[in-house]
Amino acid sequence: MIHNVHRNAYAPYGLDTALSMTNSAVHEVDINRWLTGEDYAWVQVVSGKPGPDVPAGQKDPVLVTYGTTSGVLVTIEMFMTARYGYEVTCQVVGSDGILDMGDGSFITRTTARQRAQDIPEQWLGRFGEAYRAELQAWIDSLRELSGPAGASTWDGYAAAASSGAAIEALTSDRAVGIELPDRPALYV
């Protein structure tokens, strides 16, 4: 299972639940598709008791649950008016251990009856190595003429289509199936 939390102190452009799916949750949708190496098969969205800053007709917080094609469950808690601040976390739970990506102040690994934390100096400590590795992979792909490294247009399409299905699930109060067309040969 993969559990995600995406909380904002306030919605910067005003709260629109559908926009929250396509502008905020889409990042978790994309990264979890990459983490699992799978597409999503279905999505369901359940809304909770609205906070005091939620405009009439909007839903906040919401819990978005995706099921991948092999059955991995992915949850995304979206709370766009949490007031207390910005927090983005991810926890991957497997049979051999847990990997926690904290709120940016540290990353905790739990495995083999041990728990350890890495504490970066600043926010760049959270993303600096990832940016360096991403740029190096792109440079290597150019040198080797192996095609561009990283996310493709297809990955963007799959994330957008999966987020669109979440909007349908939000408005229909039921799980919605997700069927992507066959991936074009260009992206295989």
Is 33 a domain residue? yes
pLDDT tens-digit readout, 109-144: 788 888 886 654 444 455 677 778 888 888 888 888
Q: Is the dihedral of CA 144, 145, 147, 149 positive or negative?
A: positive
Query: CATH code at 147?
Result: 3.30.360.10
First to last CA, the chain: 26
Is 115 a domain residue? yes
Instruction: Provide the mean pLDDT of the chain.
Output: 87
CA dist 48 to 43, 78, 173, Å? 17, 10, 13
Is 35 a domain residue? yes
Is 6 a domain residue? yes
Q: What is the pTM (predicted TM-score) of this model?
A: 0.81
pLDDT tens-digit readout, 171-184: 998 999 999 999 88
- Answer whether residue 1 shows pLDDT above 50: yes
Looking at the structure of the chain, the number of domains it has is 1
Structural domain of 107: 2-183
Is 172 a domain residue? yes
Is 188 a domain residue? no
Q: What are phi and psi of 59, to 5 degrees?
A: -120, 125
